A and B are shown apart, each in its own frame.
Chain A
Amino acid sequence: MPSHPEGILESSDPTSEENPRTQDHQPDLQKLHIQSSETDSGKASQDSALDNGHDDSGEFVVTMLARSKVEEQGMGTKDASSPLSETGTPLGPPSHRNEDVTADSWRQHRKHVFVLSEAGKPIYSRYGSEEALSSTMGVMMALVSFVQSGDNTIRSVYSDEHTVVFTQRGPLVLVSVSSSRQSEQQLRQELLYVYNQIVSMLTQASITRIFEHKKNYDLRRLLAGSEKILDGLLNLVDSDPSILLSAVHCLPLASSLRDSLSQILQKSITPNLVFSILIAKNQLLTIVQEKTVIEDARLEPSDLHLLLNLIGASSAFQAGEIWTPICLPSFNPDCYFYAYISYLDPPECTVCLVLLSTDKEAFYSVAECKRKIEEAMQTQNALNSIAKAHLYSVSQVGVSDLRHFMYKPFDVPDNHRQLTQFTSPEMEAPYSSEEERMRLLDLYRDMHSRIHSTSRPLKLIYHVAERETLLAWVTSKFELYTCFSPLVTKTCAINAITKLLRWIKKEEDRLFIRYPPKYSTTPNPSKSSKSDAH
């Protein structure tokens, strides 16, 4: 085995392909093979303990398959470009990578996020290039290690304008500089998401191993092109309440339709398939889990968020079929799943199928599952039905003065094994503009931080402000955040909540996945499926 973690990036020549679904053709393939090895036996045994004895513990493989179009875009000839980098036409706003870091506009960003290695080497900056910010990041590292040298740990710095939060995960230091007035706890949770997204691409064991070998390794070599994914994650963190609530947002769907979709997934299986996930408009339609997997652990909302972000952030995935290793950090930070990702409704690309397998060689059999699923959905005209599904309006609840709400139930059947979910209507006037939406989310975030304060948690908050009245309420059965018009009386608000809870009860089969279906793909179910998954 090679003795250095770096310098061993190799890319195989991509072979052009027409249709990856047909067996006699080879799909476009770009393979990045990165290996690291142990230099002494002591280290080797330590590593294998860490990896629960995986046979490929010293190796991680990133593979991408894409359609023939890739060649036309000239992508196929690029050497060693990351599989996770932007390959299609760029979507969304242009990159902030080239910003002038001395300009006022740079300072005025709502939230900066920096990732650096313990040696002070820049790994990621949300705005501005890492090179331009290397001295700033050097200072950050100096502050961290200075406080550390006093047998202490730096947590945060507050000024009238900013909250700076430091957190260290293994050999990585993550820093958030925010003027959003979010709580330290929330900012730290967001940094953990950033760390986990990096882990989802590299695994924690590899990160640890790389820095054990070379303290000042430049991790950007392995993350090249994946800035978009971290950028996307941070945009998601700012704009999507699911991360705040640590819950998954399901697209409301008639339970009969959801059931039939689940059944389709349930029938299209292959050995070592562990999760089948159907997503529409970035919301969950249904998820089917392998029986023995679910016995051991459940899929954490955060892992699903990372997966969704990975898909959403890279338009490369819209190109066709993707086969990529992905680590689900909350499930197991040290091993990979192999994800098959394909959109079912090109060119709109709103309905996405994700199949997770533990077998890295299973591409063709998993692709076959997709074919079956697509076929079954066509027969039932399911895509049309899905296209009609959309978020609901708060007016459907029929409570005047109620402008918006977020509801997270705890009383779902089999709660401890279920994916935590929440429901929320569309944000309508007066919260239709980007700015107002963000303001409402910030109000929710304030309430969330107070009600879930680590040292002084609360049961209920009623907040009358100038432009709205808010109520947050946590019980053993649910967590609820509501927004009313500012002049609502307390009596009205209480009545509204009674009505709202009744409405949710009535609609719960449509709003949530109540009984997540399972399947069995492992011939010899083993109890230790969690550690076997890689």
Chain B
Amino acid sequence: MLMIRPRMASGTQEKQYTPSLLSFFIYNPKFGPREGEEEKKILFYHPIEIEKNEKIRNVGLCEAIVQFTRTFCPTKPAKSLHTQKNRQVFHEPEENYWMVMVVRNPMVEKPNKDGKPPTVEYQEDEIIDSVYGSVLKQCYSMYKLFNGTFSRAFDAGGVELLIQKLEKFFYRYLQTLHLQSCDLLDVFGGIAFFPLDKMTYLKIQSFVNRVEESLSLVKYTAFLYNDQLIWSGLEQEDMRILFKYLTTSLFPRHTEPELAGRDSPLRPELTGNLLHYGRFLTGPANLKDPDAKFRFPRIFVNTEDSYEELHLIVYKAMSAAVCFMVNAAVDLSREFCEQLDSLVGPQLTLLASDICEQYNINRRISGPEKEPQFKFIYFNHMNLAEKSTIHMRKTTSVSLTSVHPDLMKILGDINCDFARVDEDEEIIVKAMTDYWVVGKKSDQRELYVILNQKNANLIEVNEEVKRLCATQFNNIFFLD
């Protein structure tokens, strides 16, 4: 018994809780303007178990906050509410449609002696508004990608249809939000581009042209390799959210066969196709299956003007993935899919191994990778290009970063400082842990570097970043 005591003592350690989603709701004040009808405003409320009056009260608070801030500026209402225990983020993506996300602040539970309940300490300054504001906007964009706008649904089928669509989408989508690992990359919502030599790039472009010519139903095409974009015919904003869907949701669900590797003897048996490695990631899992369904997910693009509804066909061979988008009014048949498979499969297989070879040659030329003294994030607002050596992996379940979360938040702070002015700026800070963090903004580009040289001085840090800019970014950043 005596032996157990120290362990019991260690059981009384502090418990740290990461931020988590408390609630998420969508309302439109115009739908229940009269007293007693407040419930009608609420279009979606998570968690569903919350009692009706509680829902009405929480929606009422948001309305009051928004109204209150209009006293001081009618055109710029509240974006967020900070309380001791939680953070509420507001977004009005379409007129009078409000989305609210309530996130519980991270907290530390400190045990008390004598069986008293533990003391809870909320860490109120850990959550960065811009990060969670971006997550909320992403929620809307993702909904819109698969469902179109709120107002279209309302026009088509009234409140009932809208509520039905919202419930169907958000019930599942909210489970994929991992609020504890959201960071600066969510603010950028950028696209990772695959670095490629001109020759290979031209090969890909001509492949896209050939396919679009042969399959005239295809309206837009996007080409990705290794979860990175190479070519896209979509508008930037649409590609941005589609990219997010592909890389964080669709691809991670289909990684298994690729894990076996190209030269693995297991491969041919696995796919059962000796001619090529192509397969559909959306639509039919197996073309040879007589019961195969030829249904593809529908997406909505260009919602601001032409408002197009499309079939999303994602076809993959090894590490190369192609999205073909076809007008949703057309019924896609088995014949079309077979034609696509036989046309695209062999070509894409060939192309994928070409890219792979080229990629390996380039890597060899640039020499063996030394463990660099720095890690960086780069983002270009003009083409949404994003690059991070901080994030090791970004999947549906978790985003792994190789640096301390506090450093990530310092990056977020610097980004907020940059957002205040349009001018070019540079900020260098030394953290309490003696890490140096450098932020540079030039034109539409932003670069953030974390340096692990604790004894370096400001001038040495500057030299290091200069070298990085010269080798990685062709001296885009010219300040100082």
Kindly state the interface size class of chain B when it binds its partner: 35 or more
State the CA gap A274–B67 with chains docked (Å): 51
Q: Write out the residue numbers on chain B whose beta carbons fall within 8 Å of the beta carbon of A489.
A: 480
Given the known interface contacts A455-B126, A459-B430, A464-B426, the answer about A157 and B81 at a Cβ–Cβ threshold of 8 Å is yes
Cβ–Cβ contact B124 & A155, under 8 A: yes
Residue A388 at the chain B interface, CB threshold 8 Å: no
Cβ–Cβ contact A155 & B83, under 8 A: yes
Among residues of B, the one whose C-beta sits closest to the C-beta of A154 is: B83
Residue A387 at the chain B interface, CB threshold 8 Å: no
The residue that A494 contacts in the complex, of B126, B424, B459, with Cβ under 8 A, is B459
Cβ–Cβ contact B64 & A490, under 8 A: no
Residue B445 at the chain A interface, CB threshold 8 Å: no
Q: Write out the residue numbers on chain B whose beta carbons fall within 8 Å of the beta carbon of A458.
A: 410, 429-432
Q: Write out the residue numbers on chain B whose beta carbons fall within 8 Å of the beta carbon of A490.
A: 458-459, 462, 480
The stretch from A224-232, A446-454, A509-517 touching chain B is A446-454
Interface 1/0s, chain B 58-91, versus A by CB < 8 A? 0001001101110111001111111111100000
Cβ–Cβ contact B409 & A456, under 8 A: yes
Cβ–Cβ contact B429 & A462, under 8 A: yes
Residue A381 at the chain B interface, CB threshold 8 Å: no
Q: Choose among B85, B86, B424 the residue with the greatest number of A CB atoms under 10 Å from its CB.
A: B85
Cβ–Cβ contact B73 & A162, under 8 A: yes
Cβ–Cβ contact B61 & A158, under 8 A: no
Residue A463 at the chain B interface, CB threshold 8 Å: yes
A452 to chain B, nearest CB (A): 11
State the CA gap A357–B459 with chains docked (Å): 54
Q: Choose among B78, B86, B457 the residue with the greatest number of A CB atoms under 10 Å from its CB.
A: B78
Residue A80 at the chain B interface, CB threshold 8 Å: no
Residue B406 at the chain A interface, CB threshold 8 Å: yes
Interface 1/0s, chain B 429-450, versus A by CB < 8 A? 1111010000000000000000
Interface residues of B in 28-86 (CB under 8 A from A): 57, 61, 64-65, 67-69, 71-73, 76-86
Residue B227 at the chain A interface, CB threshold 8 Å: no
Kindly state the interface size class of chain A when it binds its partner: 35 or more
Residue B129 at the chain A interface, CB threshold 8 Å: yes
Given the known interface contacts A155-B83, A156-B82, A466-B423, the answer about A162 and B69 at a Cβ–Cβ threshold of 8 Å is yes
Q: Write out the residue numbers on chain A whose beta carbons fall within 8 Å of the beta carbon of B197.
A: none
Residue B285 at the chain A interface, CB threshold 8 Å: no
Cβ–Cβ contact A142 & B76, under 8 A: no
Residue A152 at the chain B interface, CB threshold 8 Å: yes
Interface residues of B in 83-109 (CB under 8 A from A): 83-86
Interface residues of A in 121-177 (CB under 8 A from B): 136, 139-140, 142-143, 146-147, 152-162, 164, 177
Interface 1/0s, chain A 473-494, versus B by CB < 8 A? 0000000000000000111011
Cβ–Cβ contact A157 & B426, under 8 A: no
A474 to chain B, nearest CB (A): 10
Q: Write out the residue numbers on chain B whose beta carbons fall within 8 Å of the beta carbon of A372.
A: none
State the CA gap A463–B423 with chains docked (Å): 13
A391 to chain B, nearest CB (A): 30
State the CA gap A72–B430 with chains docked (Å): 63
Cβ–Cβ contact A159 & B123, under 8 A: no
Cβ–Cβ contact A159 & B429, under 8 A: no
Residue B338 at the chain A interface, CB threshold 8 Å: no
Given the known interface contacts A157-B81, A158-B82, A466-B423, the answer about A450 and B413 at a Cβ–Cβ threshold of 8 Å is yes
State the CA gap A463–B437 with chains docked (Å): 12
Residue B403 at the chain A interface, CB threshold 8 Å: no
The residue that A153 contacts in the complex, of B76, B84, B125, B409, with Cβ under 8 A, is B84
Q: Write out the residue numbers on chain B whose beta carbons fall within 8 Å of the beta carbon of A177.
A: 72
Residue B420 at the chain A interface, CB threshold 8 Å: yes
Q: Write out the residue numbers on chain A whose beta carbons fall within 8 Å of the beta carbon of B71.
A: 107, 136, 139
State the CA gap A431–B410 with chains docked (Å): 30
The residue that B73 contacts in the complex, of A156, A161, A456, A461, with Cβ under 8 A, is A161
Among residues of B, the one whose C-beta sits closest to the C-beta of A451 is: B429
Given the known interface contacts A143-B64, A454-B125, the answer about A461 and B72 at a Cβ–Cβ threshold of 8 Å is no
Q: Write out the residue numbers on chain B whose beta carbons fall within 8 Å of the beta carbon of A454.
A: 125
Residue A103 at the chain B interface, CB threshold 8 Å: no
Interface residues of B in 406-424 (CB under 8 A from A): 406, 409-410, 413, 417, 420-421, 423-424
Interface 1/0s, chain A 429-459, versus B by CB < 8 A? 0000000000000000010001001111111
Cβ–Cβ contact A159 & B76, under 8 A: yes
Residue A181 at the chain B interface, CB threshold 8 Å: yes
State the CA gap A456–B404 with chains docked (Å): 12
Interface residues of B in 382-430 (CB under 8 A from A): 406, 409-410, 413, 417, 420-421, 423-430
Given the known interface contacts A455-B123, A461-B427, the answer about A152 and B83 at a Cβ–Cβ threshold of 8 Å is yes
A485 to chain B, nearest CB (A): 13
Cβ–Cβ contact A465 & B420, under 8 A: no
Cβ–Cβ contact B458 & A462, under 8 A: yes
Q: Choose among B57, B84, B123, B457 the residue with the greatest number of A CB atoms under 10 Å from its CB.
A: B84
Cβ–Cβ contact B72 & A161, under 8 A: yes
Among residues of A, the one whose C-beta sits closest to the C-beta of B68 is: A139
Cβ–Cβ contact A465 & B425, under 8 A: yes
The residue that A152 contacts in the complex, of B86, B123, B410, B462, with Cβ under 8 A, is B86
Interface 1/0s, chain B 111-135, versus A by CB < 8 A? 0000000000001111001000000
A153 to chain B, nearest CB (A): 4
Q: Choose among A136, A158, A454, A458 the residue with the greatest number of B CB atoms under 10 Å from its CB.
A: A158
State the CA gap A184–B81 with chains docked (Å): 12
Residue B260 at the chain A interface, CB threshold 8 Å: no
Q: Write out the residue numbers on chain B whose beta carbons fall within 8 Å of the beta carbon of A244.
A: none
Given the known interface contacts A136-B71, A465-B423, the answer about A159 and B64 at a Cβ–Cβ threshold of 8 Å is no
A105 to chain B, nearest CB (A): 13
Cβ–Cβ contact B72 & A112, under 8 A: yes
B70 to chain A, nearest CB (A): 9
Among residues of B, the one whose C-beta sits closest to the C-beta of A489 is: B480
Residue B479 at the chain A interface, CB threshold 8 Å: yes
The residue that A466 contacts in the complex, of B72, B410, B421, B457, with Cβ under 8 A, is B421
Residue A460 at the chain B interface, CB threshold 8 Å: yes
State the CA gap A463–B77 with chains docked (Å): 31
Given the known interface contacts A143-B65, A184-B82, the answer about A461 and B76 at a Cβ–Cβ threshold of 8 Å is no
Cβ–Cβ contact B413 & A456, under 8 A: yes
B409 to chain A, nearest CB (A): 6
Q: Write out the residue numbers on chain B whose beta carbons fall within 8 Å of the beta carbon of A455.
A: 123, 125-126, 406, 409
Cβ–Cβ contact A460 & B458, under 8 A: yes
8 shortest A-B CB distances, which residue pairs? A466-B423, A455-B125, A464-B426, A153-B84, A460-B430, A462-B428, A155-B82, A161-B73
> Which residues of B pack against A, CB within 8 Å?
57, 61, 64-65, 67-69, 71-73, 76-86, 123-126, 129, 406, 409-410, 413, 417, 420-421, 423-432, 434, 457-459, 462, 479-480
Given contacts A152-B83, A157-B65, 17 further A-B contacts (CB under 8 A): A152-B84, A152-B85, A153-B85, A157-B68, A164-B69, A177-B72, A450-B413, A453-B413, A455-B125, A455-B406, A456-B410, A458-B429, A460-B430, A461-B428, A461-B429, A462-B426, A462-B429
15 contacts between A and B (CB under 8 A): A112-B72, A153-B83, A155-B82, A155-B83, A156-B81, A158-B79, A159-B69, A159-B76, A161-B72, A458-B432, A459-B434, A462-B427, A463-B426, A464-B479, A466-B425
